Amino acid sequence: MALNLEQAGDIIERMASDVADQSHGARSSFSAEGLAELDQLHEKLTDNLRLSLSVFLSGDITSAKRLRRSKHRFRILDRRYAHAHVDRLHQQNVQSIETSSLHLALLGEYEAA
C-alpha cells in the first residue's frame, strides 16, 4: 500500500512535468475540452491519493469503501475521456491531433495511478 501511494505521487509529479515541458517546448496546446478533462482527472486522482493516505493511516472501513467507489468512478471517467479524445481526433481537431500522444500517455498514467 505504501509503495502504491509513493508510485501514485511519482506519477502525478511526472505528469505535471510532462505537461509543463509540452506546453513550453512546443507551440501546440491541448484543446479546451481536453485540458478540462485532464484537469478534472488530475483533481480526482489527487483526491483519491489523499483519501488513500487517510485510509492507510486510519484503517477506517467506511473511508476504504468510499475510496473503492471513487476509484471505480475514476476509471469510468478516464475511459469516457479517452473516447472523447478519440472523437476529437475523428473530428480533425488540430489541437487534439498535435497533442494526442501526450494526451493518451497522460490518460494511461492516470489509470496506472
Question: How many domains in the chain?
Answer: 1
Cα(109)–Cα(111) distance, integer angstroms: 5
Domain carrying residue 107: 2-112
Cα(8)–Cα(102) distance, integer angstroms: 18
Whether 47 has a pLDDT exceeding 70, the answer reads yes
- In tens, the pLDDT along 25-39 reads 554 688 889 889 988
- pLDDT at site 62: 96
- In tens, the pLDDT along 4-32 reads 666 666 666 666 666 656 555 554 688 88
Q: How far is CA 13 from the centre of its chain?
A: 11
- pLDDT at site 19: 60
Rounded to two decimals, the pTM is: 0.73
